[in-house]
Structure 1
Amino acid sequence: MRLKITHETSYSYDTPVEALVQSLRLTPSSHEGQRVGDWRITVAGGQRGAAFRDGAGDWIEGWTVRGPIDLVSVTIDGLVETRDTAGVLRGHRESVNPMVYLRQTAVTKPDDALRDLAKSIQGQDALDLAHKLCAAIGDTIEYMPGVTQSQTSAAQAMEQRQGVCQDHAHALIACARLRGMPARYVSGYLHSSMDGKPHDAAHAWAEIHVGPLGWVGFDAANACCPDERYVRLGSGYDAQDAAPVRGMAFGIGTESMDVRVHVEEVQQ
């Protein structure tokens, strides 16, 4: 599948700020499941700084915008060719030992409900266990936009039994780590319609390290493993660690953010 991605993030300030410094994890890596073609990042009025590939295999770029700034936009235009690998991440170059992803964070720290759920699931092997944990999270947490926030923890989503893809990923990560399987958060894009029109499609899922298979993606929100509809951007311990855009503004202005993401299939 050949996917065209347009992603624009705009920041506005009620009082102009002096400068803006950003770290962007907005360039997909090529691996067996995806091949990145033309990919352009534009930061209005910005100057590109250092860029590097981190230990998890993600490409990071630094950008600086000098003020006064009342509005700045970060725009992506890109093409990615994808294929279905049944969720298995193959050919992705990284150097971090998977065992570091056993560490829980503030938003993946389990409560009694998550511990009980993780202990109640039995699998024939690690892969079967991962699939059943994914299904259990999807059955327990109903997909419901607007009921959680970026700081909502897996335990909180579990308590209210509602959330979005971020909450599904955090809860699945928490349960997998409880069962001794390294797990991490993945940010990316999803082509969610087959009608040929662009749609809002920022998405997130989890990857679990399953024995000799290595990293395997699990999307509890959609009850599936990532296939050719998915584009993988980057990973981290949780949503904050894997955030596509991180940064700091220097000034007293209050920041507002608007994000627009569209993914559409284009002809080969």
Structure 2
Amino acid sequence: MLLTVDHVTRYSYDRPVRAVMQSHRLTPSVFDGQKVRDWTVTVTDGIPGGAFRDGAGDRVQGWTVKGPVSGIEVRVTGTVETLDLAGVLRGHREVVPPEVYLVETAPTAADAALRAVAAAAMGTDGPLAVAHRLAAAVADAIAYRPGATHAHTTAAEALALGEGVCQDHAHALIAAARVAGLPARYVSGYLFADSDGVAHEAAHAWAEIFVAGLGWVGFDPANRCCPDDRYIRLGSGLDAQDAAPIRGIARGTGAESLDVTVAVLALQQ
């Protein structure tokens, strides 16, 4: 499938700040399931800094905007050719050992309820089957409801509430998988979710679980599936904050407001 992306993030400050520094994970991952045809990231008045590929295989690009700064627009546009690999992250080069992703973070801390989800999914039919049961259990336990949670809602809180968004599904699955002894991580990217070819708000997130003998496998409880050719993978981390496509800091006292729009379209090949 050929997918085009138009992703705009606008930052506004109620009083000018002296400077803004950002770190971007906005370049699609390099693996067998996707090939970049063209890709551009622009930042209003931005000065590009150092760029590198980190140990998890993600491309990281630094940006600086010198002040006074009242607003910034980060725009991502491009075309990616995708292939359905049934969720398996095949051909992705990274050096971080999977065991790193057994580390618990604040958003993915497991309480008694999450431990119960993990215990119920255990079995003798192998880690892949366990991973599928965990994803199904999270999908059953947390109904998709935009606005029910916020950026700092934890996995335990979302499970107790019984509703949330893709971030909450991913965090809950990661927490339960780690309890089950399976390395798991948060993945940020895009999803083409409109089969009629109409632009769709499609910034998305899911989880990957490491299965011995197979590698990293993606699971998207919010859509009850593994990532296929409708998905574009950007980067990964221990949780949503660690995997954020844009991280940054503003030097000054101005309060920041944020507006994000994402459109993903499918093209005829």
TM-score by shorter chain over 0.5: yes
SS of residue paired to 1:27: coil
How far 1:30 sits from its partner (Å)?
A: 2.1
Distance 2:109 2:237 in 1: 15
How far 1:116 sits from its partner (Å)?
A: 1.0
Q: Which runs of 4+ in 1 moved over 3 A?
A: none
Partner residue of 1:102? 102
How far 1:160 sits from its partner (Å)?
A: 0.6
How far 1:254 sits from its partner (Å)?
A: 0.5
Partner residue of 1:198? 199
Amino acid at match of 1:86: A
For residues 11-38 of structure 1, what are the alpha-carbon distances to aligned partners after superposition, in whole Å with 9 as ceiling and x for unaligned?
A: 0001011100000000012211101121
Amino acid at match of 1:109: A
Structure 2: which 5+ residue stretches go unaligned? none
| Mapping of residues 1-268 of structure 1, within 5 Å | 1-123=1-123, 124-268=125-269
How far 1:120 sits from its partner (Å)?
A: 1.3
For residues 115-169 of structure 1, what are the alpha-carbon distances to aligned partners after superposition, in whole Å with 9 as ceiling and x for unaligned?
A: 1111112341110110010000000111111011111000000111111000000
Aligned length: 268
Distance 1:130 1:156 in 2: 21
Amino acid at match of 1:260: T
SS of residue paired to 2:217: strand
Distance 1:216 1:172 in 2: 13
Distance 2:57 2:147 in 1: 32
Amino acid at match of 1:257: L
Distance 2:153 2:92 in 1: 30
Amino acid at match of 1:11: Y
Distance 1:101 1:11 in 2: 31
TM superposition score normalised by structure 1: 0.99
How far 1:259 sits from its partner (Å)?
A: 0.4
Distance 1:58 1:122 in 2: 32
How far 1:196 sits from its partner (Å)?
A: 1.2
Distance 1:184 1:171 in 2: 11
Distance 1:72 1:103 in 2: 35
SS of residue paired to 1:127: helix
